[in-house]
Amino acid sequence: MRLCLAIILIACTLSVTRAGRADSVWTDANIVTGLDLSGSIEAREVQLQVDGIAMAIRSPKIIAAIRRGNYGRIGFAVFVWADSDYPVLVSWRLISSAEDATAASEEIAGRLHAIIGSDVTVKLGALTDLSGAIDFGGRMLRTAPFATTHRILNIVGNGVDNVGDGPRPARDRLVAEGATINGVALGHDRAIYEYYRREVMGGPTAFVLAANDPEMLVDVLERKFVDELVLNTDAVDQPPR
C-alpha cells in the first residue's frame, strides 16, 4: 500500500513539473554575468567592464548566434560584486533581437550610474569575495523566470578570493546543480588566469578567457558569449517550442 502511494505521489509530482515547464518560456541558455567592483579594480577597468558587456551583447555575432538557437532567445542578467553587496544591473530579460540587446545595454549603463553615480572610482567594497559572487549568481540562476536546460554564470575579475574559504566550495555546489561557471581574468597576471582555471571555472564546457589588456575586453566578451551559445544550444533533449 505504501509503495503504491509513493508511486502515485511521484507520478503526480512529475505531472505537475512537466505541466509547469510546458507553460514556461524556454530559452537556449540563461546567462548571468558578474562584474568586479572590488578594491583591486581600477577606475578604467570599471568602465571597461560595463562598456564591454554592453557592447558585447549588442554584437551582430552574438545576435546571429542567439537567432541560430533552438528557441532564438536567451535569458540575460548582470550584477556587480565585491565583498558584501551585489547590486543587479540588469534584471532578467529575454534577448532575441538587436532591439532587445540595445535595451539591455542601456539598462546596464543606467543602473551603474544609479549605483555609483558619475564617479567610477567608487567601489562596492575593498575585498574580493569570489565565493559570494558565485553564490549570488547561483541564486539568480535558480530563480530565473525562464526555463532552460543550460544555466551559465560568467565571473569577471582580477583578483583572488580573500574572504572566507575561497571560491571552490561555492563553485562545486553550483556545478553539482548542473550549472556552468566561466571566467574572464582581467590584467596581465598569469597567476590570476591560472587561479580562475583552478578555483572558479566549473562544468563540462567551462572555460576561462584572459583579457591581458583592458581594451581587449569587448572582443573577449564577444567571443565568450558566442562560444557559450555554440557550446550550449545543441541539446539532445529539448522540450517542444
The helix or strand, by DSSP H or E, that contains position 175, with its residue range, turns out to be helix 168-176
Any idea which of 51-55, 111-115, 144-148 has the lowest mean pLDDT? 111-115
- Asked whether residue 12 is domain-assigned, the answer is no
For 238, other C-beta atoms within 10 Å of its C-beta total: 15
Q: Residue type at 26? A: W
Please state the rounded mean pLDDT for residues 45-60.
86
In a domain, 66, yes or no: yes
Residue 115, C-alpha cell as written in the block: 549605483
Q: What is the pLDDT of residue 100?
A: 97
Cell, residue 227: 562560444
What are 55-109's pLDDT values in tens digits?
889 999 999 999 999 999 999 999 999 877 888 999 999 999 999 999 999 999 8
For residue 100 the three cell numbers come to: 532587445
Cell of 147: 526555463
pLDDT(18) > 50: no
Q: Please, what is the Cα angle at 237 between 143 and 208, to 5 degrees? A: 60
Q: Which domain holds residue 91?
A: 24-232
Predicted local distance difference test score (pLDDT) of residue 22:
42
E strand or H helix that includes residue 174? helix 168-176
Confidence of residue 124 (pLDDT cuts 50, 70, 90): low
Residue-wise pLDDT tens digits, 109-122: 888 877 766 555 55
State the CB neighbour count (10 A cutoff) for residue 113: 12
| pLDDT classification of 9: cutoffs 50, 70, 90 | very low
pLDDT tens per residue, range 159-215: 999 887 899 999 999 999 999 999 999 988 899 999 999 999 999 889 999 987 766
Residue 8, pLDDT above cutoff 60: no
**Type and span of the H or E element at 152:** strand 151-157
**DSSP line for 121-143:** T--SBSS--HHHHHHHHHHHHHT
Is there a domain that residue 237 lies in? no
What is the band of 12 on the pLDDT scale with cuts at 50, 70, 90?
Answer: very low
> Is residue 4 assigned to a domain?
no
pTM of the model: 0.84
- Residue 176 corresponds to which cell in the numbers above? 553539482
Residue 157 lies in a domain: yes
Decide if 90 is inside a domain.
yes
Instruction: Provide the pLDDT for residue 201.
Output: 97
- The count of structural domains within the chain is 1
Inter-residue contact 188 to 182 (CB < 8 Å):
no
| Domain membership flag for residue 196 | yes
Nearest partner of 216 among 4, 97, 88, 55, judged by Cα: 55
Among the listed ranges 13-22, 127-136, 216-225, which one has the minimum average pLDDT value? 13-22
Task: Supply the CATH number for residue 214's domain.
Answer: 3.40.50.410
**Would you say 77 and 88 are in contact if contact means Cβ atoms under 8 Å apart?**
yes
Say yes or no to pLDDT of 238 above 60. no
The verdict on residue 13 lying in a domain is no
